[in-house]
Structure 1
Amino acid sequence: MAALANSFLSPESSRLKPGELSTGTTIMAVPFPGGVVLGADSRVSTGTYIANRTSDKIAQLSSKIFCCRSGSAADTQALTDYVRFYLQQWEVETGRNATVKVAAHLMRKICYQNKDNLSAGVIVGGWDEVDGGSVYNIPLGGTMIKMDCAIGGSGSTYIYGLTDALHKPNMTKAETVAMVKKSISHAMARDGSSGGIIRTCIVDESGVEREYIPGNQLPYGP
């Protein structure tokens, strides 16, 4: 059977050793006065194979704190589970709601301490009573940077100029949502590892609002 299977492989492919498969995504988070908007595509790929067309890459860490995941799906799912558990424990012990900064520091610590074993780039964003809406970018390696506009994943390399052009200080909630949707849709058009639908999450003092945009309704226009 092994000989039969190998007969269908080219000489070059039969010499290839098993290795890591390329993965890709597009994630984004932008704060606005009074809240934050998080967005992500939904394609999960393993090399050239699309494993999931409608994955949810925006994970909830606390009541008003969320995390956009990129990199290895297994690694980022484990990370968010750990951080969610520790935040729940912290809130019970202190009797207070966790802040976005606390959640981001905890995520950064776990990422940094395990940087040689993880493939995970995340964006932590949400609303709290101390800072309002805030966003922290935690790329590969465990650095943590507070940002006014955070993008990540393979699709982000295609939209740096677009986000610089669209982003401006003190945008309204509607303007921020429109920017996130437009930026991610353009990344999905260019990046073969990003696709599917766009999921957004709007977090402010009043609560959480989730939405998705089907692939045939993406805002590609100017």
Structure 2
Amino acid sequence: MFDTLINADMRPVGHHFQPYADNGGTVVALAGPDFVVIGSDTRLSTGFQILTRDQTKLFELTPKCILGSTGCWCDILTFRKVLDARLTMYSQDHNKTISTPALAQLLSNMLYNKRFFPYYITNIVAGLDTDGRGCIFSYDPVGHCERNTYTAGGSSSALIQPLLDSQVGLKNQEGVPARDLTLESAKNLIKDVFISASERDIYCGDSVDIRIVTKDGIQTETMALRRD
């Protein structure tokens, strides 16, 4: 159907269909040899309005896996509801909890199944793999999946990703030996990048929700950010 029609006066009339909204939010994840740390801000906004200052973008899927989602909040809630149903079916069919790599593939298949009318969200899956190593999977809206050791998604990703490339990935640095992140340095780095992002991105702020996944389970920490 044409998006421009001609009325009786032969003047063009535009018709637009915009089903999506961008409610902001940022997620950052870092993986180590036996842990993964993922954080999100808690500001949920639309345009120049703040809807709430206390809404995390992180969801615990298994005792070893966290999902971080940003973008259209109604799509996030719908996707979470469908994903919960699929995880319940998996546990009942196989009589075990799904592993993080298998869950990452399931999420990719679900996103690809909606490729003609995709969820308007950015997803990051962070957890421990079957060997107990930290792993991170990042996605585009139609399901392309990539395993990483660090990544950022959401409204501040263009600000944070170059910093992670420099400090964690050591991109374009010669003579700098590669090193594994420690848990303490990963937590401090996530706090630092959110403090920096909140200075430049109005859709990132209020506080940071941080989840640390280890073999002992999931721990939670919070840190205040600027509220203006």
Q: What TM-score does the superposition give when structure 2 sets the normalisation length?
A: 0.81
Match of 1:183 among 193, 201, 205: 193
Distance 1:30 1:16 in 2: 44
Alpha-carbon contact 1:27-1:184 (below 8 Å) kept: no
Runs (5+) with no aligned partner, structure 1: 1-14, 218-222
41-50 vs 200-209, which moves further: 41-50
CA-CA distance at 1:84 after TM superposition: 2.5
Alignment of 1:57-76 (within 5 A): 57-76=57-76
CA-CA distance at 1:165 after TM superposition: 2.3
Question: Over aligned residues, Cα RMSD in angstroms?
Answer: 2.2
182-191 vs 20-29, which moves further: 20-29
CA-CA distance at 1:45 after TM superposition: 1.1
Distance 1:25 1:50 in 2: 11
Aligned partner letter, 2:224: P
Q: In structure 1, the residue corresponding to 2:109 is in which secondary structure?
A: helix
2:123 aligned residue = 122
CA-CA distance at 1:28 after TM superposition: 0.9
79-88 vs 187-196, which moves further: 79-88
Aligned partner letter, 1:139: D
Provide Cα deviations, 1:119-167, integer angstroms capped at 9, x if missing partner. Answer: 0110001124335221100122211000111110011111222212221
Query: Which stretches of structure 1, 4 residues or longer, exceed 6 Å deviation after superposition?
Result: 15-18
Provide Cα deviations, 1:167-202, integer angstroms capped at 9, x if missing partner. Answer: 154111111111111112211221111111001000
Distance 2:122 2:168 in 1: 22
Aligned partner letter, 1:158: L
Aligned partner letter, 1:95: N
CA-CA distance at 1:17 after TM superposition: 7.3
1:17/1:48 CA distance change after superposition, 3 Å: farther
Match of 1:209 among 204, 215, 219: 219
Runs (5+) with no aligned partner, structure 2: 1-13, 170-178
Provide Cα deviations, 1:72-95, integer angstroms capped at 9, x if missing partner. Answer: 111112212222332232123223
Residue 105 (1) aligns with residue 105 (2): yes
Q: In structure 2, the residue corresponding to 1:186 is in which secondary structure?
A: helix
CA-CA distance at 1:16 after TM superposition: 11
1:130/1:92 CA distance change after superposition, 3 Å: farther
Q: What TM-score does the superposition give when structure 1 sets the normalisation length?
A: 0.83
Between the two proteins, the alignment pairs up a number of residues equal to: 203
Distance 1:88 1:21 in 2: 29
Q: In structure 1, the residue corresponding to 2:128 is in which secondary structure?
A: strand
Q: In structure 2, the residue corresponding to 1:200 is in which secondary structure?
A: strand
Distance 1:87 1:215 in 2: 34
Distance 1:18 1:44 in 2: 23
Give 1 or 2: higher helix fraction.
1
